[in-house]
Amino acid sequence: MLEQLQIKNLTKRFGTVIANDRVTFDVRRGEIHCLFGENGAGKSTLAECIYGTYRSESGTICFNGELVEFNSPRDAIQLGIGMIHQHFVLVPPLTVLENIIVGTEDAKVLLNTQKAENKFKELCARYELKLNGHAAIWDLSVGEQQWVEILKALYLDVKFLILDEPTAVLTPEESDKLFRILNVMKRQGISIVLITHKLKEVMQSDRVTVMRKGKIINTVDTKSTTREQLTHMMISSELAVQGLKKKINSESTVVQIKKLDVRGPRGGYAVKDLNLTLNSHEIVGIAGVAGNGQKELFETLVGIQSPESGEVWLDTEDITHWSPAEILAAGVGHIPQDRYREGLIGQLSIVDNLLLGMHRSPRFAQRGFLDQERVRAFVQEQVDQFEIVAPSIDTVVGNLSGGNAQKVVLARELFQASVVLLANQPTRGLDISIADYVHRQLLEKRKEGYAILLASEELDELIKLSDRIVVMFKGQIAGEFVADNPDLEQIGLLMAGGNL
């Protein structure tokens, strides 16, 4: 029996969205099998069906050659199936050990922490992980939290492990370490399904299954395929952003930031003595590792934080102490770094989220009442224009895939902004084609004359889009470059805190 898992014709719908469309998929014992596809392709849904979180409408699942029906994760766990979910499923105030042992057989009525700790230490040693079992989760780095998730699964002696985009939160070194761990698991006979949309990771697997729009496109041996072939299978349309970015000359200053100081959350300065101008028809890229003051800078520009000193000018007006509503009304749009926390209200529908900030404008509200018909027509128009995939415009945005959620933010901010667009990591966590879509939108706005500030951790993205690139380190501008053939080594050095 070579196949440990065999899925035939599995279909799963959410409302009218078909997340999995007659999926047929198999995993062999002891292999690393990549599930590769864009955001919204249906990878997570398939994984959750295997783990018993969701019930499929039709289709069969065979595990170890036997037909099974999973009604809850309990059924999957009992067969030795483990899963690392796309988003952490941890209890932050509790300790690492508590998170690991909760719900396991080892805990009788009284908690036997000693026995659990021994097993935990043994696992840590075997997989070369350094973790303090008594540390609270919220004191750990995201990378360490991911190790906890993996230990949770290993602690249950899984035979079959699904990892849903586990490297999204890991640094490159940590990702390498993850692959070492996966290979150790593989040698012990554990079958692994690795969900990803990064080609580099796919190439380290044994087999790849490519998904697109809910369907399986193909399953191939990794050795006998190429990156190009895989990319081609994953995305339907060819990408061509290059031609769009033509040099446009119009150097009228739109935003001027003068000697800006902003306090960070823990005392200290998050932004220190920062000077920057944004011109119309221009994208200024901010290179730098997140957490070097980008968030505070953006929030100050849109009025969410107030600076300790310094000035912000929009055309001829000093907007330093304006409220967010006033700045928004002046035509400044903001795509925040954390789309779910700052850009959207997860429990509200697409309609409500798209309307945020415009709900008072006379176009949609008369005498305090919303004109539902007009609102819905407007939202439908935006949803069509931005190709937001959702069962209906009343779907809550928390249920949308990352790409579609970001499109909601984009639609709203692009509609409201008329002069300036501030985009902080607008493509973080998005797959190639949605990221490409965001890029096109930004370039389009540049052409229309917007002044755009774009922060990103990906240099490629900045080079592709920006007219100028400034490097931000510890709240200060460490250097400025023109974006045509900039010296990458110098930028890298400045990003890491070095001097030229």
Partner 1 sequence: MSEFFTETIVISILAAMVRIGAPLILAAIGELIAERAGVINLGVEGMMLMGCFLGFFVTFETGSILAGIGAAMVGAMLMSLIMAFMAITLRLEQFVTGLALNLLASGLTLFWFRSLLKTIGSTQPNIDLLEKAPIPFLSDIPYLGIIVFSHNWLVYLAILSVPICSFFLYKTKYGLELRCLGENPRAIDMKGLSVAKRQYLAVLFGGMMAGLAGAFISVGSSIRFVPEMTAGRGWLAIVIVIAGNWQPKWILVAALVFAFLEAFQMHVQAVGINFPYQILLALPYVVAVIALMHRRARSRAPASLGVAYSRGS
Comparing CB distances to Mg ion, the nearer of 36 and 386 is: 36
| One-letter identity of residue 434 | I
- Residues in region 238-277 near partner 1 by CB under 8 A: none
| Long-range contacts of the stretch 376-385 (C-beta < 8 A, 24+) | 376/351, 378/354, 379/350, 379/351, 379/354, 379/355, 382/354, 382/411, 382/412, 382/415, 383/350, 383/354, 383/411, 385/411
Task: Decide if residue 43 touches ligand ADP (CB under 6 A).
Answer: yes
Report the site for partner 1 in 382-421 (rule: CB under 8 A): 399
Alpha-carbon 191 to chain mean position: 26
Type of residue found at 282: E
Q: Rule CB under 5 A: is residue 167 a binding residue for Mg ion?
A: no
Q: In what order do the strands lie in the sheet with 58-63?
A: 17-28, 3-14, 58-63, 66-68
| Binding status of residue 116 toward ligand ADP by CB under 6 A | no
Structure tokens at 351: 């309609």
The tokens describing 335, both together, are 């795509």
State the binding partner of 110 from partner 1, ligand ADP, Mg ion, none, CB within 5 to 8 A by kind: partner 1
Choose, by CB under 8 A, the member of 7, 23, 31, 85 that binds partner 1: 85
Element (H, E) at 4: strand 3-14
Output the smallest distance, CB 272 to ligand ADP, in A: 39
Nearer to partner 1, 94 or 365 (CB): 94
CA distance 155 to 82: 10
CA gap 430, 394 in Å, rounded: 23
Q: Which of 401, 416, 441, 466 binds ligand ADP (CB under 6 A)?
A: 401
Max intra-chain CA distance, the chain = 74
Nearer to Mg ion, 86 or 320 (CB): 86
Which residues 5-24 are close enough to bind ligand ADP by CB under 6 A?
A: 14, 17, 19
Q: How far is the CB of 191 from ligand ADP (least distance, A)?
A: 20
Q: CB neighbours (10 Å) of residue 5?
A: 22
Q: How far is the CB of 81 from ligand ADP (least distance, A)?
A: 18
Closer residue to ligand ADP in complex, CB, 14/364: 14
Smallest gap from residue 412 Cβ to ligand ADP (A): 18
At 407, which amino acid appears? Answer: K
Q: Say whether residue 404 binds ligand ADP (CB under 6 A).
A: yes
8 Å CB contact between 80 and 189: no
Does the footprint of ligand ADP cover residue 343 (CB under 6 A)?
Answer: no
Distance CA 293, CA 96 (A): 30
Angstrom CA distances, 154 to 123, 150, 268, 407, 423, stand at 8, 6, 41, 37, 40
| Token duo for residue 315 | 């055309």
Cβ at position 492, least distance to ligand ADP in Å: 31
Q: Which span sits near Mg ion by CB under 5 A: 36-44, 103-111, 136-144, 359-367?
A: 36-44
Query: Which of 95, 320 has the CB closer to partner 1?
Result: 95
Stretch of residues binding ligand ADP (CB under 6 A), selected from 37-45, 155-163, 328-336, 367-375 = 37-45
Q: Which does 94 bind (CB under 5 to 8 A by kind): ligand ADP, partner 1, Mg ion, none?
A: partner 1
Tokens 């100081």 sit at which residue? 261
CB-nearer residue toward ligand ADP: 399 or 476: 399
Q: Using the rule CB under 5 A, which residue among 27, 31, 38, 44 binds Mg ion?
A: 44
Bridge partner list, 250:
none
Stretch in the footprint of ligand ADP (CB under 6 A) among 35-43, 57-65, 127-135, 249-257: 35-43
> How many of the chain's residues bind Mg ion (CB under 5 A)?
2
Burial of 58 (0-12, 13-18, 19+ CB in 10 A): exposed
Residue among 436 and 467 whose Cβ is closer to ligand ADP: 436
Please, what is the end-to-end C-alpha distance for the chain in angstroms? 60
Sole binder of partner 1 in the list 16, 65, 108, 228 (CB under 8 A): 108
Q: Which of 18, 62, 94, 348 binds partner 1 (CB under 8 A)?
A: 94
- Rounded to 10°, the helix 372-385/402-416 angle is 120
Phi, psi of 410, rounded to the nearest 5 degrees: -60, -50
Stretch of 26-34, 66-74, 171-179, 257-265 contacting partner 1, by CB under 8 A? 66-74
Q: For ligand ADP, which residue of 10, 23, 40, 337 counts as binding (CB under 6 A)?
A: 40
CA dihedral of 217, 223, 224, 226, whole degrees rounded to 10: 70
Measured from the CB of residue 402, what is the shortest distance to Mg ion in angstroms? 8
Name which position in 1, 2, 67, 109 contacts partner 1 (CB under 8 A).
Answer: 109
Q: Which of these ranges, 39-47, 114-122, 184-192, 491-499, lies near ligand ADP under the rule CB under 6 A?
A: 39-47
List, in sequence order, every beta strand (DSSP E) within 133-252: 160-164, 191-196, 207-212, 215-221
Residues within the interface to partner 1 (CB under 8 A): 14, 48, 51-54, 72-78, 83, 85, 89-94, 98-99, 101-104, 107-111, 399
